[in-house]
Amino acid sequence: MGEKTILLVEDDEDQVILALRALRKHGIAAEVDDVVVSGTGEEALDYMFGTGAYDGRDANSTPEFILLDVNLPKLSGHQVLERLRDDDQTRLVPVILFSSSNEHKDVVKGYELGANSYVTKPANFDRFSEAMQYLGWYWLNFNESP
């Protein structure tokens, strides 16, 4: 079995810091070998497919789950999700859309494109931290991935 990773796709540096802090605080980061952070949709796809800056990375080694922001510059989270679902190698990787947007159209579109879950980021750090804890526990310890 390969390394266990989480892919966090988030362009807001403050949100990245909060997410990593919450993953460490609740021991989620200790359950994986790495938390890979991508600041753009393009970088996330490069990571997943072993291209660009990640040329040579074993693209068959997929993360345990992907936390994907919807509102990314250039290539949106929805576009990234669509690309992941269109490829046989990545179509079954669990993708959690984790976004500040709770607009109904964003939620519906996410599920239509194949998201496994849609979670609105809480504005309060304690609630944000709690959400990260529950997401990590569920996707690492209870979910059975193919």
- Residue 58 domain-assigned (yes or no): yes
- Residue 17 domain-assigned (yes or no): yes
- The pLDDT, as a whole number, for residue 3 is 82
Give backbone dihedrals phi and psi of 16, rounded to 5 degrees, phi first: -60, -45
Residue pLDDT, tens place only, 30-73 = 899 999 999 999 999 999 999 999 999 999 999 999 999 999 99
- Residue 65 domain-assigned (yes or no): yes
Residue pLDDT, tens place only, 76-99 = 999 999 999 999 999 999 999 999
Amino acid at 136: G
- Residue 146 domain-assigned (yes or no): no
Is pLDDT above 70 for 2?
no
- Residue 131 domain-assigned (yes or no): yes
Is pLDDT above 90 for 118?
yes
Q: What average pLDDT does the chain have?
A: 94
Q: Which domain holds residue 29?
A: 5-140
Q: Which domain CATH number covers 56?
A: 3.40.50.2300
Q: How many structural domains does the chain have?
A: 1
- Residue 85 domain-assigned (yes or no): yes
- Residue 127 domain-assigned (yes or no): yes
Give the whole-angstrom CA distance, residue 113 versus residue 25. 32
Give the whole-angstrom CA distance, residue 21 versus residue 93. 24
